[in-house]
Structure 1
Amino acid sequence: MGILQAADDAEDPQGGMVVFDNVHMSYPTRQGTKHVFRGLSAVFPARRRVGILGRNGAGK
């Protein structure tokens, strides 16, 4: 077995872009609902590196 290589002319219709459009995320706690995102919208272009930062235990 060897390593497979992608063809140079392979089509990627989305180009690897990641899009979040009006994302809402929350979870229940004893004190009530904890909102993580409220209406998050973001576009991460193809071939770009993005880091997610936050405290330990923050749910990244």
Structure 2
Amino acid sequence: MTVIQEKPLRRPPGSTFRFSGGNTMVLGVFIKRATASDLAPFSKSHLFDRLRIKDAAWLA
């Protein structure tokens, strides 16, 4: 987390959108600590399955 916090922003917050950012990596750490589950299986059972999304994947 310290590495992420110390990294300077490239653009002002809210000015651009980047689909492939580091946010999913941070989310994965939080999910793992809170549930002892990795992000992919957690999101499949708690998000994609409930929304009936059949073709979804986290790319590494």
Please confirm whether the aligned pair reaches a TM-score higher than 0.5, indicating the same fold: no
Higher RCO (C-alpha 8 Å, min separation 6): 1
Indicate the structure with greater helix content. Answer: 2
More strand by share: 1
**If the length of structure 2 is used for normalisation, what is the TM-score?**
0.21
